[in-house]
Chains A and B, each alone.
Chain A
Amino acid sequence: MKQIKVFIFLFILFLIQGTVMPLIPMNGLWKNLQFIPDFVLVALLMIAFFGSLSWGLKYAMVFGFLIDLTYSTVLGVYAFCLVLTVYCVYTISRWVNMNTAMTLLLSAVGVCFMQLGVYVIYLMIGLTDQTFVDFIQLRLLPTVVLNALFAAIIYLPFRRYLEKITNGPEN
C-alpha cells in the first residue's frame, strides 16, 4: 500500500517532466542553455539511499522504460542508464555519512553520471551531434543546478516519509 504512494509520486514526477517543464520558458532567459529535468532520477536516488536499494532498482527499470517509450525513439537507453546510475551512486553513498549536503552532492553526481551515460550512447548511435564542450557548458551545469534545487526541495519530507515506511511495522 505504501509502495503504491511512492509509485504514484514517481509517476507524477515523470508526467511533470514531459508536460509542465516544457511549458516553462527557460530558454527565454538564458538562450542556448538547456535545463533538463531529471526529477525521477533524483527521487529514485533518495529511495535507494533512505528506502531500499532493491525497490530503487525496480522502479528505475520501470520508469526507465516508460521514459524510453514515451519521450524517446530508441528503447533501453534510459532504462540502462537509470539502473546503472542508481546502483553506482548507492554504492558510493555507503562509504559516506548521509547528511543534507552529502545527499545533494550525490544527487548532483547522479545527474551528471546519468546525463553523461545517455550522451555517450546517443552520440554513438547518432541521435545527437552536440560537441562535448557544448554538452558540459550549455547542458550539464544548468541541468545539475536545476536538479539539485529540486533535490533540496523534496529532501526533508521525502526522506522522512521513506524512513517511516521502511522502519514501519508493516515492513
Chain B
Amino acid sequence: MPSFFSNKKLIILLTGLIVLIALISYSLKEGARATWSEQFVQDIVGGFQYVVNVPARYVAGFFQNVNDIENAYKENKHLKENLANYASVEQQNSDLSVQNKELKAQLKMLNDPSLSDFKKYSATVVGRSFDQWNQLVTLDKGKVNGIRNGMPVITSGKRLIGSITKTGNFTSKVSLISDHQNVNQISAVIEGTRVYGMIEGYDQNKGVLLFQKIPIKAKVKKGQVVSTSGLSGKYSRGLIIGKITHVTTDQYGLTKAAEVKPAADLNDLTNVMVIERKAATVGSGVKGN
C-alpha cells in the first residue's frame, strides 16, 4: 500500500505552499495593474471566449425572447401608465437644460465639464468567472478601444454595475459592485436629496449592497433611489446604484446604514457601456477645477 506523502512529496508540497503565498501576496499588492504576460493570456483567452460566446448567446437569446413575450403584456400596461407623464417631463427637461446653459454661460462655466458628463464606449460581455466568489466579467474591448483602468461600467438606463480593473490590449475585466475585491468605496447620494453616504460592501446572501455612513439625522426611507454622487474620483455623477430596501443604524449608533438592492441585474449582463468622465479626476495629473 503506497504511503500518502513520502518525504520528497512533502518537500514539494511545502515548496508549493511557499510559491502560493508568494503569488497571493504579489497579486494582492499589485492590485489593478496587469503585467504584459497577464495581458497576453487574457487577450488570447478572451479571443476564444468571444468565439464560444457568440453562438451560446444566440441560443440563450432565443429562450430569453420566449420569456420576454410572456412579460410583454404586463410591461406594456405599465409603460402606458408612465407615458402620460412623459410629454410634460420632456418639456420641463428641455426648459431646464436651456436655462441651465444660459446660467452657466453667465457664470463663464460653459467650458468646464460638469461632474455628470461622460463619454461612452459600448462593449459586450464575453465571459464571467464561474465561482461566485470572484465577481468578474470579461469585456471584448481593451486598450486599443480607449478603455483604461478604473473606468465605471454601466448597463442601459445608466445603472452602475462595476468598474474596470484590468485591461489587456483587446479585452478588459470588470469587477462588479458585488465583488469583494472591489474595495473602492463608492460615494453615493440619495436622489432628490442631499444625503450622502458610502457604498461599502456587498451581502451575497441577501444580494444587497451596504450603504453606510449616512448622517444620523437624515431622513432615509425604503424605496428611495441611490445614485453615485460624483464626488469620488472614479464615478461620474448620477449613475443609478439601486433602491433602498432596509434602514438601520450602524453598530455604534452614530450613523445610519441601509441596504440597497442593485438596480442592474448583475446575473444577466450582455451589452454594457464603459464610461469615461470628462471632469478631471483626482490623481489623474490634470489640475482640478
**Which residues of A approach B to under 8 Å, CB–CB?**
11-12, 15-25, 27, 32, 34, 36-37, 66, 69-77, 79-80, 83-84, 88, 91, 94-95, 118-119, 121-122, 125-130, 134, 138-139
16 new A-B contacts, CB < 8 A, other than A23-B57, A83-B16, A129-B204, are: A15-B45, A18-B130, A19-B56, A23-B60, A69-B38, A69-B41, A70-B129, A73-B175, A74-B181, A75-B26, A76-B23, A76-B24, A77-B24, A127-B180, A128-B133, A138-B205
Q: B252 near A: Cβ within 8 Å?
A: no
State whether B129 touches A91 (Cβ < 8 A).
no
Please list 9 pairs of residues, one from A and one from B, whose beta carbons are closer than 8 Å in the complex, sorted by A's number: A15-B48, A15-B49, A16-B52, A18-B130, A32-B205, A34-B132, A36-B130, A71-B129, A130-B133
- From residue B58, how far is it (CB to closest CB) to chain A in Å? 10
Number of A-B residue pairs having CB atoms within 8 Å of each other in the complex = 124
How distant is the Cα of A23 from the Cα of B4 in the complex, in angstroms? Answer: 40
Which residues of chain B are within 8 angstroms of A74 by Cβ–Cβ distance?
A: 23-24, 27-28, 181
Taking a contact as CB atoms under 8 Å apart, the answer to whether A36 and B205 are in contact is: no
Q: Is the interface of A mostly helix, strand, loop or mixed?
A: helix
Q: Which residue of B lies closest to A23 (CB)?
A: B60
Is the Cβ of A76 less than 8 Å from the Cβ of B19?
yes
Q: How far apart sit A75 and B23, CA to CA, in the bound complex (Å)?
A: 6
Q: Looking across the interface, which residue of chain A has its beta carbon closest to that of B171? A: A70
- Report the separation of the CA atoms of residues A21 and B153 in the bound assembly, to the nearest whole angstrom: 23
Q: How far, in whole Å, are A90 and B23 apart by their CA atoms in the complex?
A: 26
